[in-house]
Every structure is written in C-alpha cells, then in structure tokens.
Structure 1
Amino acid sequence: MDVQQLEEAKSIILEELKQEVWSQAKFFTVFSDSGSSSPQFILYSDSITQKEYDLKEIFTITRIFKKAFLAAKADEKSRFNKVEFEVYSDSTYQVSLTWDDEEVRKNKLAWSNVIPQWVNDRLISLLFSAGYGDEANWQRGVFIFTIQQDKLSFEGTIYNDQTPMIVQVKLPDYLIVGILEHYQITNEGFLKDQWQPWNQLEIRSPHNSLDLDKDITYRLITDKG
C-alpha cells in the first residue's frame, strides 16, 4: 500500500474530525476473500477514554484500503486482510496491515455453510426463466451436482404432486465456478479438516429455505450412478 493512499485516508479523517476534541482515532476492518468488510472507527479523547464514532466517510476510507487489498491479494509477501490504521491529532499516523489465516478460515466456513441455499435460490430462478414455472407448477425438486475429473455434471428432477419431470437447463458459469470452488475449499483447501470428503452434493429443494440437516447431503462416490 503506497504512502499516497495512506495520506489520502488520513486527510479524510482529519477533515471530518476538525470540530472534535480527540487525541487518537483508529480505523479497523477485516476483509473477506471477496473484499467485503464491516469497518469500525474508534475515537479516543485521551489515552484511555474511547467511543465508537459514526464517521460519515468510513466507507470512503474502506474503499481506499479495499483497493490496496485487492491489488496485493495474489502476492503472499505483501497481501493483507486485516487493517489497523491509527491517526493522531498532531497529523501523524501509523498503519498495521497483516494477514490472518484464521479470518480466512472463518469467512470461508461462513460462505460454505450458505452455499447450498445460494445454489438452490439460483437454480429456482434459473428454472423459472427456463419456463418450468414456480411453486404453482412444481412443489419440490431434487438437484444433484457431481464432480468428477474437475468437471461438474447436473441432474435435476422436479415434482408436481407426485409426478416427476426431468429438467434440462444449462448451468451458468458463475454457478459452476461457485460449486467447484466450494468443492476445492472443503476437500483440499482451508476447510478440508472440517468437511468429510465428497464429490456429490444433493439438494432436496422444498422450493424455499433449506433445512441444512434434512435437505442437503454430501457424499463421496466412486462411480457416477
């Protein structure tokens, strides 16, 4: 992260706080893999007394650091995901940019836990666009995603009452990439110790929110079918 970006962030903070009585201000955030974050801004009136301050330009500051985060993301030597930026009333500042594997693991775990719901929601929308209708036309579905030799295949069946219908749709690239990334993270990446090996995901869609315990099955197969 270059000095110009840090000076810009410092100037924004100093300008907004010029009517305040303060000694130190701290901007803190942790970036997820996608670059999202929940920034905090703390203001100190002395070395001890602090309060969370509603900085109007907090997301402008966040965008400055996010730009640097994305630029450094692929470089193991300069990458960071945790930011602590301290500005003092005498216009000096210091910054700490660090990489925290535990934050990466937590973010990936949170995302992996909602992946099946995300897939289900996208697929329902896709089926509607493809002319299969909504819950008036089908009440439940069984969607099976199988990964073999780094390729994803899809089988889908929807039911109107008890009458099954095989669905024929082309999965969009973003959905394929999302499922393959989920597979890689849980089988080989950060979450391999928290997931049983799998190469097939089955979603039993009730056409709305999934029950993670009842509606989802991960399994490891050796032969498709």
Structure 2
Amino acid sequence: MDINHLVSEIKNYYKEFEYDKLIVDYIFTLQGSYNFIVQYEKDNRYVESLVSNKPIRSVVREMAERYEELKDSEQKFNHVRIEINIDGTFSDKYWWDIGKEHQDLFDYANVFFQWANERMMSMIFDFEKDNNLLPTQYDNDDELEYLSSWDSGVFTFHINDKSELEYKIVLTKDGVERVLEMPLKDYFIKGILKHYHSTNTELSNIWKPWNTMVLKSPHNDIPSDKKDEFVSYILE
C-alpha cells in the first residue's frame, strides 16, 4: 500500500467543506470489515462527510489489504487515523484498540448460534442429498425436487476434557425422532472450538463458563432476540 497515494486520492476527492484538516478513520472488526469515516475540521469544529467513497474505493480498500497482511503479527491494528493538512502534509497512526476487540468478540459470540444453525442446516441437506436420504418428488416441470426430511432438530455440542468436540444430531419429522450420524466439516469444528475458547477466556468476565451448547433448530433462521428460547450453554 502506498500511503502517499492514498492520502493524495482522499485529499483530491473530499472537497465538500473548507477545512484546516481532514481527519480520516478506519475502524476494523475482527472479521476484517471496516468503517471508513472522513471528517472536516475547521476552527476546532468537526463535520462528517456524507459522500460515498465509491469513486476512490479501490484505493481506500488498500488499507483493508494491509490489515489482513498484519492482523496476526506484532504490527496488527484495528484503528487507523490519518490527519491531512490543507497543504497536503499528513500524519498517520495505527493502533490496536483492546476495548473494541473485546466488544467485537462479544458481538460475534452473541450471534454465533445463528451461524451454527445456518451451517448445520446446510451440512445436513448436503449430507442427506449425497447419501440419498432425502425424500423426492417431481415438480410440475417434471424436474426432481428434494423435500425436507426434518421439521426441527436438536444439536448438542460438548467439549470434553481433551478439548475435543463431541456432538449429537437429533432430527424430528412428524413427531418421530432419529439420530443422524453425520461428520462435521473441519471449518465448523474449528468454529465451535474457537467459540468455546473465546467465551471461556477473553469473555469469561461476562460469559458464564460452559462446555456444552444445545441448539434447538426450527429448521429455519433464528432471530437474534430468540436466543434464550433456542440456545442453552451448560457446564457439565
């Protein structure tokens, strides 16, 4: 990334108001998305820009590439501030905001059940389709249509004493339960273990200890405000 080119593009594009200084902030989440905020400072008064950065977005995004390159190094950052003076001189500062990191971890952990539910529904469909376990019918166009094999499910994930994932999948159709023996994808196992680790370490001051997560799936998306109804965290 060429910081001088980035500064030049920003200075040449943002001309909504007179200013003594342009203040540019990049604020990154742990997943790598970011807010890009530009403010005009004049006589110690601040006005935030309302224009889209789309015309220079390819240059603006170069900072996100730098974030990805450095996120696992000692030079990692999640906040960047660039202050551009009217004469074109500038200063840039990069730092790691621990408070924001903690909030990002909590926000992600708090909706993790939605990701887990969506991934489980997808994996179950693919597995049952590949193993001829789905009921089928032909539609009006004489094309094969796959039907649902379950109405609801209970997914139990347990982290044992060896920090390994044990799990059980129980599906219900028309009131009849069955256990589905299905391997989980590696990325999903890593996701569960990472969720377990972060909530029991970095978030232990606000998240109760647990080693078993029980997810009741309605075979549909779960609204965020229904978490307590569909998800339980238990310490066994």
Normalising by structure 2, what TM-score? 0.82
Counterpart residue number, 2:2: 5
The aligned amino acid for 1:208 is N
TM superposition shift of 1:170: 1.4
Matched, 1:69 2:67: yes
CA distance, structure 1, for counterparts of residue 102 and residue 152 of structure 2: 33
Aligned CA distance change for structure 1 residues 152 and 61 (closer, same or farther; 3 Å): same
The two structures, once aligned, show a CA RMSD in angstroms of 2.2
User: Which of the numbers 219, 226, 229 marks the counterpart of 1:214?
Assistant: 229
For 1:168, what is the secondary structure of its paired residue?
A: coil
Please give the residue correspondences for 1:108-127 in structure 2 after superposition, counting only pairs within 5 Å. 108-127=105-124
CA distance, structure 2, for counterparts of residue 116 and residue 35 of structure 1: 20
CA distance, structure 2, for counterparts of residue 101 and residue 135 of structure 1: 47
Residues 37 and 48, structure 2, Cα contact 8 Å, conserved in 1 = no
The aligned amino acid for 1:209 is D
TM superposition shift of 1:9: 1.2
Aligned CA distance change for structure 1 residues 26 and 182 (closer, same or farther; 3 Å): same
Matched, 1:152 2:187: no
CA distance, structure 2, for counterparts of residue 103 and residue 19 of structure 1: 30
1:156-175 alpha-carbon deviations (Å, 9 max, x no partner): 01001210111122111111
Aligned CA distance change for structure 1 residues 58 and 173 (closer, same or farther; 3 Å): farther
Moved more, 155-164 or 60-69: 60-69
The aligned amino acid for 1:23 is D
For 2:30, what is the secondary structure of its paired residue?
A: coil
CA distance, structure 2, for counterparts of residue 69 and residue 57 of structure 1: 21
Moved more, 30-39 or 156-165: 30-39
User: Which of the numbers 123, 142, 149 marks the counterpart of 2:154?
Assistant: 142
The aligned amino acid for 2:2 is Q
1:29-82 alpha-carbon deviations (Å, 9 max, x no partner): 211122111211123455425232423356435422223323332333x32211
Unpaired segments ≥5 residues, structure 1: none
Moved more, 45-54 or 92-101: 45-54
CA distance, structure 2, for counterparts of residue 156 and residue 141 of structure 1: 7
Residues 39 and 58, structure 1, Cα contact 8 Å, conserved in 2 = no
Number of equivalenced pairs? 216
CA distance, structure 2, for counterparts of residue 165 and residue 82 of structure 1: 49
Normalising by structure 1, what TM-score? 0.86
Residues 27 and 35, structure 2, Cα contact 8 Å, conserved in 1 = yes
CA distance, structure 1, for counterparts of residue 46 and residue 92 of structure 2: 21
Indicate the percent of aligned positions where both proteins have the same amino acid: 27
